[in-house]
Amino acid sequence: MILDSLKFAAVAVDPNSIDAIRARFIDEVSEQIKLIRSATGKEKYLQQRMMKTTDEDGNEVMRMMTNPRVRHWYHSINGQIYIKMSLGHRNFVIDHKTPLIYVEKGIDGVEEVLNTIKRAAEAKELDKALLTHVEGRKRNKK
């Protein structure tokens, strides 16, 4: 068998490591880019999530695709477009002042701003803010 020549391994990844946190954030930004491209008609995208279902006995029997309520990061406030990032159901603040980022070019500039945020995260420029955000979430749970 062809697969017999491969060595499979499980690697433990700490979900609280900065690499894991950054990867989750980049995934969230990438999904927001797909959502804005869909909203502006540049591509079709339907957000979907896996959902566990159970039978009458409480046993997991299957997973179904669901269409969750979409939470866009871009908002119109007083006729202006802003991005308010969210991570772990909390506002993600980069500069310790406000979670809002003004988009100068209106709705057409949202994708450009999101791509800038994604590049900054990939370049590890947001690591300090991401760690501060996660640490704040841990303190609030106590």
58: its two tokens: 């409480």
pLDDT winner (highest mean) among 58-62, 65-69, 125-129? 125-129
Residue 63 scores a pLDDT above 70: no
Residues in the chain: 142
Which percentage of the chain shows pLDDT scores above 70? Answer: 83
Is residue 62 in some structural domain? no
Is residue 7 in some structural domain? no
- The reported pLDDT for the residue numbered 90 is 85
- The reported pLDDT for the residue numbered 62 is 61
Is residue 85 in some structural domain? yes
- The reported pLDDT for the residue numbered 64 is 60
Is residue 8 in some structural domain? no
Is residue 3 in some structural domain? no
pLDDT tens figures, 15-28: 778 999 999 999 99
The helix (H) or strand (E) run that includes residue 134 is: helix 127-141
**Longest CA pairwise span in the chain (Å):** 64
Question: Under a CB-based contact definition with an 8 Å cutoff, are residues 95 and 58 in contact?
Answer: no
121: its two tokens: 């995260």
- 121/38: higher pLDDT: 121
Residue 105 scores a pLDDT above 80: yes
Is residue 75 in some structural domain? yes
Is residue 50 in some structural domain? no
Is residue 136 in some structural domain? yes
Residue 129, domain extent: 14-44+70-141
For the chain, the domain total comes to: 1
Residue 141 scores a pLDDT above 60: no
43: its two tokens: 């591509």
